Each structure stands twice: as C-alpha cells, then as structure tokens.
Amino acid sequence: MRNLAVFLIYEGTAYHGWQIQQGLPTVQETLAKAVADVVGGPVHVAGCGRTDAGVHARCYCANFRTDSRIPVDRLPYALNTHLPPDIVVTGAREVSENFNAVGSCVKKEYTYMIYNSRVRDPFYVNRAWFYPRHLDEHIMAEAAAQFVGTHDFAAVRSVGTDVKSTVRTVYAYDVWREAERIYLRVSANGFLYNMARAMAGTVVYAAEGKIAPKDIGAILDSGNRTAAGPTVPAGGLYMTGVWYDKGQDRFFLNNGFR
C-alpha cells in the first residue's frame, strides 16, 4: 500500500470548507471523488487543515493510501482531468507510511488580504475584504507583533472545535501594503478555529483606534473573546504555507503574495 501526498491550490468560494459535510460541496469530497476515479476505488483523503467555507488555498497538502501503481509524476495530470477548474493539483510525491497531512505538519502559514480603498473592485469580491476607510498599516504591524510568541489564544478563536489546549506558538506576523491591498501574514505551529480571522479583526481594531496595540497582550491573558476584534470575512483568507520536517518527509510548500 502506497502513501501518496498531493499538493493543490483552490479558490474556495464555491465550497463549504475542506471537510466533508453531508449535502454540502467541500474540497475534501471533491478531491476524494477525483482520486477514486483515477485509482479505481474509494479512498480516504486527509488534509493539512480544516479551512472554513469560502477560504482559499494558494498551497495545500493532502494524502491518501492506495494500491494503484500510477506514477507520481502522472498523478496531477490524471486528477486534474476529474477536478473542477477551481481546484488544481500541482504536484505529488510518495511519502512514508506514517505520514499524515495534518498530524505531520509542523508549521502553517495564512495570509489575509484587505482591499483598502474608497471604491470597491469587483475583481476582489470573495478574494479580499473590502474596507473603505483608510487603515494605517504601521499601526497594524505594531498590533500584529503583539501576537508573536507562545500564548493562550482562546481570546481569538470561535467555539466549534474541541481542542485539548488553546496554547499555540506564533512564529511571525507581518503586515505590509501594496497600493490598495494590505496583507497580514501569520505563521504558527497550529491554528484554532477562526483564529487567523479573529487575529486579523483585532489588528484592524487597533488601526481603528478601538484598542491600542499594547492592549493585545492583556486581551490574550484575559481569554475574553468579546475583548478582541471581530472574525473578519472568510473570502480574504488564504493558506499560503505548510511545512513538514521528518525523515524522507522533509519538505515545505509556500505560495504567498511576496
């Protein structure tokens, strides 16, 4: 039995997230059906993260087990003939028996895009959060820096998924502007439900003057979700990096905006 990892990109607007949900279109179900068509039977496809409805991935890793002998260099082409145009497999590799796309992942990166202009651009609908009032990216960067380190992130997560601990380590949180677009890029050893979107909302709160950047540490210490900023819309969020670092499964995928 081979264990195969596939790498994909997808535009998530049409899907209710990654994970299979009864009666709703999801990326996992769509990919699993394509894999079954190619390898000749049903498979379980595990993904590196549970992206929410409307969230996109500029890179994503999934794995499945199969007896099929299809060469890994041919697998992406075969799968793409069975996938809709908003999901594309960009590569594949054979991985170790113990490899699991989510359990073996040591680091993830998300990037949130804000379209900060007085006039809406239709080409960014469902791909960025349209925010018409000017945001100071320097204040946002100061606020984002407060999240770096090991903290309890209960104050910036939504209830919905049971976890043993809400402590996570954020390695970096960068903010920059390119014309009307503001990018918020955060990497961590793991993310709680809606954590990246709530962090972005808190950074915007600081730019709006509703909190001071230095207040974020106290907000995290409090664990009070209502003290932090809102969960911003899903369409601006992209998975942009995943890292694996064990034996033959040492590789990373990164497809950010810089």
Contacts of 22 (CB under 8 A, 6+ apart): none
CB 99 within 8 A of CB 46: no
Q: Which letter does DSSP use for residue 21 in this model?
A: B
- Could you tell me how many residues make up the chain? 258
Quote the tokens at residue 245.
Answer: 């670092």
CA distance to 214, 216, 218, per residue, from 211 (Å): 8, 8, 11
Is 52 tagged catalytic? yes
Contact status, residue 45 vs residue 28, Cβ threshold 8 Å: yes
Read off the tokens for 241: 């990096």
Looking at this protein, which amino acid is placed at residue 212?
A
> From the candidates 52, 67, 86, 221, which is the catalytic residue?
52
SS3 at position 114? strand
In the DSSP assignment, the letter for residue 125 is T
Active site residues: 52
